[in-house]
Amino acid sequence: MTYNAHDAYLESRVLSAAPLELVRLLYQTATGAVREARRHLEAGKIVERSRAISKAGQVLLELSASLDFKNGGEIAPRLFQLYDYMLRRLTEANFKQADAPLAEVLGLLATLSEAWDGIQEQPKPAAETHQPWAQPPLPTDGAECSTHSWNL
């Protein structure tokens, strides 16, 4: 296996990624592998298709293993069941050489990926700094705002 610039970039990205970013990277990897499997299926490339499906399955296993059942509430077991379902569909796609299960897994991954993209890392609270040039906030009690308010 050769180590190229893309591999180095990916390794750097993984090593410096926050937990949410790692999940996003895993979804991207699984999505790419399923797309690749579909292309290989269409082209009749059996070994390449199987390899791509295996890669997608490995990512789903990694996602399953990373679930936090203690602190994950009801979402962790649900994700586990969904990952398990997708693994079974990938196995079916490989065994039957069928595109429909791959298309279904791709749709599920897209939905999950979109949901994770909506989750934001919790920003660390920045120390508030006084900015004397900043405009004062507008009143919230319905009071009239003067266009020339000078507080000298």
Average pLDDT, the chain: 81
Find all residues with CB under 8 Å of 38, minimum gap 6, and list them.
99, 102, 103, 106
Q: What confidence score (pLDDT) does residue 7 get?
A: 56
Find all residues with CB under 8 Å of 17, minimum gap 6, and list them.
25
**66-98 pLDDT, tens digit each:** 999 999 999 999 999 999 999 999 999 999 999
**Measured distance CA(62)–CA(59) in Å, rounded:** 5
Q: Where in the chain are the domains?
A: 16-116
From residue 84, give the alpha-carbon distance in Å to each of 58, 87, 110, 132: 12, 5, 16, 56
Percent with pLDDT over 70 in the chain: 68
Q: What confidence score (pLDDT) does residue 21 get?
A: 87
Q: What confidence score (pLDDT) does residue 135 get?
A: 47
pLDDT at 141 over 80: no
Asked: is 16-116 a CATH 1.20.120.340 domain? The reply is: yes
**Measured distance CA(122)–CA(100) in Å, rounded:** 38
